[in-house]
Chain A
């Protein structure tokens, strides 16, 4: 067992699960989507990105790209949230909530690609 690999896998999977947990629920209902979960998803996703830095393999490059996409989508969701609540002060009507969740949903897809790639890479190492 390799500690570095454990940490790597842990953060990638945690990014998927947190993201999934945030998206789960009624699409446009603010009560089903917790802001702390979004924050945790962003932080974990960023850490997962940093862990993928400096990989020279082809699969490493794709992993990094997927992670960057997830970061971008999640941060966009957070910005939409902050703008809606604090800048234009409309609160969280269903239309805004739907936008935030759909952005996070996109991030979920990218995170799942990451996780799939990780599984593929791991299985290709086993002989």
Chain B
């Protein structure tokens, strides 16, 4: 079967094959009616015997069959002819009803609709002429990602198994058209239809809520199109290892990610802020999260989150007490306290009065809320972390007075987004972790100063002819292009833009926070963070050589023939040039 499944190749033959019986019935009915009419004896105007010829018989049946009825032509019918025409009407009308009924049932046929939809998806994807991301799974994480990507004017294609998810997508008010289709991403052919092998497919994101589905998506996209960036979500540790084993670019586990961050927040609060802000979803408000304490932690619910946090805290040498209804079974540590944590008795037993923090990490939001409220009543000052399983219960957690909410979908979406948006960011964070606390604190101050109250954008700039034609032109002219030219206002070179160059990568060598006098070279990649406005303003000198010249040297040569002419004239100190010397 051909790979390129167009609508013509599936829908048209399907319609034709289904229309075979009704068309044959219809044609037979017409044929019988026409032949019959030519055979039945009639009379002409003078009462002489006359037989309808084929031409007139076909004409009469043509208008009689859809019950239009122009009358009896060319001569008034005899009783025998009328009898035959009566029979013909019933015959042909029934044939028509059958044909129309078949068409209607075909329209409602699920296979037919699936074929139509597949054709529409195929066309929608083929029409995209810029890089796009394929997002498999439109749940909480998927919808956050779609919103964040489309706000950045990135093209996205969504597929999800559930019709309701696609309907949700269609109701959303997004700035860019997002083709969304109800398809099972586990079937490789569906991924191909959705454009995995397309030239413009920049990345595939597998964020369904089934590890198995994510695994299959990762496998398919890696086998069919190895160059495409593949990012997958994995909930269990086995799935994480499995998906990572065949070259998937990134596998994210929301619970491990959270536990890592929690430890970072406890031990290196400034580094945690940097990471939190740079990987957050831009244009949302800049979070100032309270610092989690180092004392004893009570972990209610030894599930995926509880396990991850327990492991990380242990590594950091922080004492933990576990409360779990399964008790000692299920790999729970032997000193775990049996119970849900929703009753005061269990929490007292776990030492709620002396503990400094509590994690409500069950997979049921009602249980988590109950734990939070009970704990608050018992200990007013305890630091409470709670897992929000569904975005819809967010207001409840806020009202319950949770200090730190764990939103797996937000954590996943922000990590995936930062990877897709700025591939150098992971590198930067890795290196920043190795820097001193003073360095980190200073960077936090700088970011806070430029970002204000919203999460800053992060972006990567590559010095290439396509991305910044003016810089390449200037370099070829032999000019020295420094970072200074990029981080100032294009109309006022003394004014700094609200952005920070975080990292410069040149031929595998990496510089953290490159200073303003850094000289740029072809092939450099620079990671910036800053405001949306700064990103827009920075683009101006990148493509306009005169503006870049002004930024670098302070002089403006003027661009275009007229300006250049006027400037030259001004420099020469002459009046109007004489056309005839």
Contacts and interface: CB of A to CB of B under 8 A. Distances in A.
B34 interface: yes
Given A53-B20, A82-B54, A85-B53, A39 B13 contact: no
A53 B24 contact: no
B19 A53 contact: yes
Given A54-B17, A86-B55, A39 B34 contact: yes
B20 A51 contact: yes
Contacts of B14: 54
A50 B55 CA distance: 23
A47 interface: yes
A127 interface: no
Nearest to B17: A54
Most chain A CB within 10 A, of B17, B27, B28, is at: B27
A35 to B, nearest CB: 6
B545 interface: no
Nearest to A48: B24
A36 B264 CA distance: 93
A50 B24 contact: yes
Q: Interface extent on A, as a size class?
A: 10 to 19
Contacts of A50: 19-20, 23-24, 27
Interface in A81-102: 82, 85-86
Given A54-B13, A54-B17, A54-B20, A82 B27 contact: no
A82 B24 contact: no
B31 interface: yes
Contacts of A46: 27
B572 interface: no
B35 interface: yes
Interface in B1-30: 13-20, 23-24, 27-28
A35 B14 CA distance: 36
B16 A54 contact: yes
Interface in B42-84: 53-56
Given A39-B35, A54-B17, A47 B24 contact: yes
Interface in A52-78: 53-56, 78
B20 A43 contact: no
A71 B53 CA distance: 21
Contacts of B28: 43, 47
A36 B15 CA distance: 32
Contacts of A82: 54-55
A33 B56 CA distance: 20
A43 B14 CA distance: 24
Nearest to A51: B20
A50 B38 CA distance: 25
Contacts of A78: 54
A85 B20 CA distance: 34
B6 to A, nearest CB: 13
A47 B24 CA distance: 6
B54 A35 contact: yes
A51 B13 CA distance: 12
A109 to B, nearest CB: 23
Interface string B77-100: 000000000000000000000000
Interface string A25-36: 000000000011
Contacts of B19: 50, 53
Nearest to A38: B54
Given A53-B20, A54-B17, A54-B20, A85 B27 contact: no
Contact of B31 (A39, A85, A86): A39
Contacts of A36: 35, 38
Contacts of B13: 53-56
A40 B34 CA distance: 11
A124 to B, nearest CB: 21
A43 B17 contact: no
A51 B31 CA distance: 17
Nearest to A50: B23
Contact of A53 (B16, B34, B54, B56): B16
Nearest to B22: A50
Contacts of A56: 13
A91 to B, nearest CB: 12
A67 to B, nearest CB: 13
Contacts of A43: 27-28, 31
A43 B32 CA distance: 10
Contacts of A85: 53, 55
Contacts of B16: 53-54
For B18, B35, B54, B56, the residue with the greatest tally of chain A CB atoms inside 10 Å of its CB is B54
A56 B5 CA distance: 13
Contacts of B27: 43, 46-47, 50
Contacts of A39: 31, 34-35, 54
A53 B23 CA distance: 11
Contacts of A54: 13-18, 20
Given A36-B35, A86-B55, 16 more contacts: A35-B53, A35-B54, A39-B54, A40-B31, A43-B28, A43-B31, A47-B24, A47-B28, A53-B16, A53-B19, A53-B23, A54-B15, A54-B17, A82-B55, A86-B53, A86-B56
The 10 closest A-B pairs by CB, nearest first: A54-B17, A53-B16, A54-B16, A43-B31, A82-B55, A54-B13, A50-B23, A86-B55, A46-B27, A47-B24
Interface of A: 35-36, 39-40, 43, 46-47, 50-51, 53-56, 78, 82, 85-86
13 contacts: A39-B34, A43-B27, A46-B27, A47-B27, A50-B23, A50-B24, A51-B20, A53-B13, A54-B13, A54-B18, A82-B55, A86-B53, A86-B55
